[in-house]
Structure 1
Amino acid sequence: MTARDARLHAFRSDLADARLKGEVSADRFVAGRPARISVSVADLRKAPRPDAGVNTQALFGDDVLVFEDSAGWAWIQAERDGYVGYVADTVLGPREQAPTHIVSVPRTFLYPGPDLRFPVSGQLSMGSAVTVTGAAETRGTHYALLSSGQALIAAHLQPAGETAADYVSVAESFLGTPYLWGGVSGFGIDCSGLVQLAMRMAGRDVLRDSDMQAASIGKPLDPGPDFTGMRRGDLVFWKGHVAIMTDADTMIHANGHTMLVSREGLKDAVARIGYLYGGPTGFRRP
């Protein structure tokens, strides 16, 4: 049998994705049931327990396949990036109307109606997919209406299929966002989550973890011993970490040093990180 990355392929000894039949060993193979994330942010955990570690997250409107639903937990695979994990089954809903818009700001609020003075009824991250069914205006503010009756600020949305011109500018809009291991949202994000979400908004779906990104995004780059070959948009990788260059000398990254998405000089970061974890392991140009 071919070795498979369990982060990206749904297989266990007792159960596996039917598409993997003949490629992995399992007692039983099932076809995934289509579902959609129905909460603001859903944690994908390593095991079906509330104390299990979070590997990544899925956002409102993300489509997933469900391979098992048992004892309050669902074993799923995200369709966008292939990531496999366990979520509480309460975060799943049906796939009904196709999303029409995407949240295009780091975070926004849901209101029970088209009035920003109403008590907030929820919040959504950039990248969340919604189905707009109507529009309204209150005191000069334009709202997008959802079938649930909730409303969003219309200016915080972009049509599905519309993309940003520069993924680095998207990443820069997250400056000051708290660092969160496994996070992929405007409420908390990690290093590879920042790369993934920023590129997603620019129309490019990439894999989730930094080691996957280091092996798959763009082409390898040799910037030279003084890093003089770097430019805006290039990626710098360390073991377990990734940063985005904003110009030839400066990078932006979600990091455990500041516990924020922050800017840092590349050479300063190399010296600081190298003291404990060694130097960069690679560079790539998307």
Structure 2
Amino acid sequence: MQYGVCSLSIVPVRSEANDRAEMVTQLLYGDVFEIISIQKNWVHIRIAFDFYEGWIDVKQFITIEESQFNAIKELPFYCSIDFIEFVNTQNNQLLPISIGSCLSALQLLKHQFDGAFVKPTSFLKEKISEIASLYLNAPYQWGGKTPFGIDCSGFTQMVYRICGFSLLRDASQQAKQGTALSFIEESEPGDLAFFDNADGNIIHVGIVLGDNYIIHAHGQVRIDRLDHTGIFNAETKNYSHNLRVIKSFS
């Protein structure tokens, strides 16, 4: 098995070994992964953080040893907390990194970082609403994980990641984590609300706020009303999503 680390700001992870293929997620700076196979100019990877698989361009990462991969995984996780920060490369060049980027690989990459970071030793549920608000108005982008483009489950995953909890990548996967609540009245700020389609499949997720509001990525990261039926959009005067279940995480 071979291993790699993302040494760039953001790298698209695609469904197939093709530049035109769907972007299913993204690697952020410092993310490490296993290399499953290599196909010409493309590498099939499994991301260590959430076990998600996809294809990346062979030119957009650095190969590392198994011992280095394991060492980074075992280090206490800490990540950048500002909207945009910079690391200094070996060539004394500035590399921009997005909020939530992993800083555990700095020593391995021989980069320097003097910005703000968070190093949670436990799940900081009380910080979720505050961190989620940093993403307000970020445009929706399928597969995105940054304030410059993010999808619903990428949004919840990144907010929870910054607060010290590992969520899986897709909404349907996240819905299998946590503890289901019987009533919406039991929910607390920071819980996750999941929504389904007419076939009963989980297709959307958002973060519960106080006073029956929810923050979620739908067109953009926005705040809407939440009730027993689902998400009510005050602008369109319609329900945009049907509530399936609310999950608590601790």
Preserved contact between residue 111 and residue 121 of structure 1 (Cα < 8 Å): yes
Map Cα deviations across residues 6-54 of structure 1 (whole Å, 9 max, x no partner): xxxxxxxxxxxxxxxxxxxxxxxxxx31111121111111110111101
Sort the Cα spacing of 1:203 and 1:38 in 2 relative to 1 into closer, same or farther, 3 A: same
Preserved contact between residue 43 and residue 54 of structure 1 (Cα < 8 Å): yes
Match of 1:122 in 2: 95
Question: Which of 68, 82, 93 is the equivalent residue of 2:62?
Answer: 93
1:203 aligns with 2:164: yes
Structure 1 Cα separation of the partners of residues 241 and 210 of structure 2 = 23
**Which has more radius of gyration?**
1
1:156 aligns with 2:119: no
How far the C-alpha of 1:201 sits from its partner, in A, is 1.4
Equivalent residue letter for 1:237: F
Preserved contact between residue 140 and residue 150 of structure 2 (Cα < 8 Å): yes
Sort the Cα spacing of 1:92 and 1:132 in 2 relative to 1 into closer, same or farther, 3 A: closer
Match of 2:35 in 1: 66
Alpha-carbon RMSD: 3.0
How far the C-alpha of 1:55 sits from its partner, in A, is 0.9
Structure 1 counterpart SS, 2:85 = strand
How far the C-alpha of 1:169 sits from its partner, in A, is 2.0
Structure 2 Cα separation of the partners of residues 246 and 174 of structure 1 = 14
Identity of aligned residues (%): 25
Sort the Cα spacing of 1:229 and 1:157 in 2 relative to 1 into closer, same or farther, 3 A: closer
- Structure-2-length-normalised TM-score: 0.78
Map Cα deviations across residues 120-158 of structure 1 (whole Å, 9 max, x no partner): 84311122223556xxxxxxxxxxxx835xx64x34234
Structure 2 Cα separation of the partners of residues 233 and 71 of structure 1 = 43
Which shifted more, 100-109 or 79-88? 100-109
1:55 aligns with 2:24: yes
Map Cα deviations across residues 175-196 of structure 1 (whole Å, 9 max, x no partner): 1222211111233211111111
1:109 aligns with 2:86: yes
Structure 2 counterpart SS, 1:243 = strand
Structure 2 counterpart SS, 1:238 = strand
Structure number with greater CO (CA < 8 Å, separation at least 6) is 2
Sort the Cα spacing of 1:249 and 1:162 in 2 relative to 1 into closer, same or farther, 3 A: closer
Equivalent residue letter for 1:46: S
Equivalent residue letter for 1:40: S
Match of 1:237 in 2: 194
Structure 2 Cα separation of the partners of residues 112 and 63 of structure 1 = 18
How far the C-alpha of 1:255 sits from its partner, in A, is 1.1
Match of 1:169 in 2: 130
Structure 2 Cα separation of the partners of residues 185 and 250 of structure 1 = 22
Alignment of 1:5-84 (within 5 A): 32-84=1-53
How far the C-alpha of 1:283 sits from its partner, in A, is 1.5
How far the C-alpha of 1:277 sits from its partner, in A, is 6.6
How far the C-alpha of 1:110 sits from its partner, in A, is 4.3
Match of 2:149 in 1: 188
Q: Aligned pairs, how many?
A: 228
Query: 5+ unaligned residues in a row in structure 1: which ranges?
Result: 1-31, 134-145
Structure 2 Cα separation of the partners of residues 42 and 251 of structure 1 = 29
Map Cα deviations across residues 32-83 of structure 1 (whole Å, 9 max, x no partner): 3111112111111111011110111111111100121222100000011000
Structure 2 Cα separation of the partners of residues 266 and 81 of structure 1 = 28
Preserved contact between residue 28 and residue 98 of structure 2 (Cα < 8 Å): yes
Match of 2:225 in 1: 265
